[in-house]
Amino acid sequence: MNLRRIFLAPAWVMTAIFLVLPLFVVLAYSFLTRGAYGGLQLPWTTESYQRLVDPLYLSILGRSFLLAAVVTLVSLLVAYPLALFISRSGRRKMLWLNLVMLPFFTSLLVRTYAWVFLLRDTGLFNTVLLSVGLIQEPLPLLYNDGAVVLGLVYSYLPFMVLPIFANLERIDPNLLEAAADLGESPLWALWRVLAPLSRPGIVAGSVLVFIPSLGSYLTPDLLGGGKSVWVGNVIQNQFTNARDWPFGAALGVCLMLLVLGLMRLWQSKGGGELG
């Protein structure tokens, strides 16, 4: 149908020029050499990729991966009880669900800054603790890995709550009653019946939290203060201060491959659509 082609044309043009093409440019840049004053120049080389294998950068990649996994795990531990609570709330389910989503609707920047406001030396937590006399000096709550993990868990919590909640809703309520009937205490019923059945939701939530965490830049930047270095920070640095575009591009390519690989893995295991 001609009308359909006309309708799809602008979208094709936008994605081709402003999405696909830029990514290919990055790919191309990753194979060039760093220029004398920061730009780019020929010759083509794989030098940037070779530098990636340097233990320093491998460890940064590895740490990002590890920390993203920690974020995912913590999110799971926090989100599961919440999802369980909401699914058992009868008529008020939508209300609780909306309340979970509400903070998420505000800007990521604002939400991340809010933790700066709370955690820094002159922040709310330290002020309260000092005034009560529990501590004599401000605690270094900010500018470390812990603060970044906290910030990321906070930012992406709804992504873990929603899939788990949706999964719990689909579980036959009779199953828990059957477990009770067969002599299982509530805790055991949870472990032996509920947890295995909510695995799809857990997996979906984990993917939805892990991937953005891995590629995050803003939260480590504001909450990590240079001491918590993630892949995103290094990439940004290469394109601004360090002026090593090929290396930044190579890192970007690696991050993209990681993200795409994880997506493909999840979809092959029967993952659903996003959003």
Partner 1 sequence: MSAPISKTLRTSAGLIFAFLYLPLAALIAFSVNQSSSTVWAGFSMRWYQELWSDPQILSATANSLLIAATSTVLATIIGTLAAYGLWKRQSRLLVSTVYLSLVTPEIVMGVALLAFYQAVFRYLDVQLGMHTVILAHISFCFAYVVLVVLARLRNMDASLEEAALDLGATEWQAFYRVTLPCIAPAVAAGALLAFSTSLDDYVITSLVAGVDSETLPMVIYAKARRAISPSINALCAIIVVAVGSLVLLSQRLQRS
Which residues 104-133 are close enough to bind partner 1 by CB under 8 A? 105-111, 113-118, 120, 122-124, 127, 131
Q: Which is nearer to partner 1, 195 or 260 (CB)?
A: 260
Residue 171 CA: distances (Å) to CA of 34, 188, 225, 233, 254: 56, 17, 44, 41, 39
Percent helix, strand, coil in the chain, to 5, is 75, 0, 25
Placement of tokens 């820094």 in the chain: 120
Residue 232 interacting with partner 1 (CB under 8 A): yes
CA–CA separation, 252 and 43 (whole Å): 20
Binding-site size for partner 1 (CB under 8 A) equals: 84
- The minimum distance between CB 111 and partner 1, in angstroms, equals 7
Residue 166 interacting with partner 1 (CB under 8 A): no
Residue 265 CA: distances (Å) to CA of 166, 173, 216, 230, 260: 22, 31, 20, 23, 8
- The minimum distance between CB 124 and partner 1, in angstroms, equals 5
167-226 residues in contact with partner 1 (CB under 8 A) are: 168-169, 171, 173, 176, 186, 211-212, 214-218, 222
- Binding part of the chain for partner 1, among 41-49, 55-63, 132-140, 163-171 by CB under 8 A, reads 163-171
Question: What tokens does 239 get?
Answer: 């394109």
Q: Are 148 and 167 in contact (CB under 8 A)?
A: no
| Residue 182: how many other CB atoms lie within 10 Å | 9
60-89 residues in contact with partner 1 (CB under 8 A) are: 78, 81-82, 84-89
Residue 4 interacting with partner 1 (CB under 8 A): yes
5-64 residues in contact with partner 1 (CB under 8 A) are: 5, 7-8, 10-12, 14-15, 18-23, 25-26, 29
- Binding part of the chain for partner 1, among 51-59, 133-141, 195-203, 231-239 by CB under 8 A, reads 231-239
- The minimum distance between CB 134 and partner 1, in angstroms, equals 16
Residue 260 interacting with partner 1 (CB under 8 A): yes
Residue 135 interacting with partner 1 (CB under 8 A): no
- Binding part of the chain for partner 1, among 43-51, 65-73, 100-108, 198-206 by CB under 8 A, reads 100-108
Q: What angle do CA 98, 196, 183 make, to 5 degrees?
A: 105
- The minimum distance between CB 46 and partner 1, in angstroms, equals 18
Q: E-strand spans in the chain?
A: 33-34, 40-41
CA–CA separation, 28 and 25 (whole Å): 5
- The minimum distance between CB 2 and partner 1, in angstroms, equals 8
In 3D, which of 10, 45, 11, 51 has the Cα closest to residue 28? 45
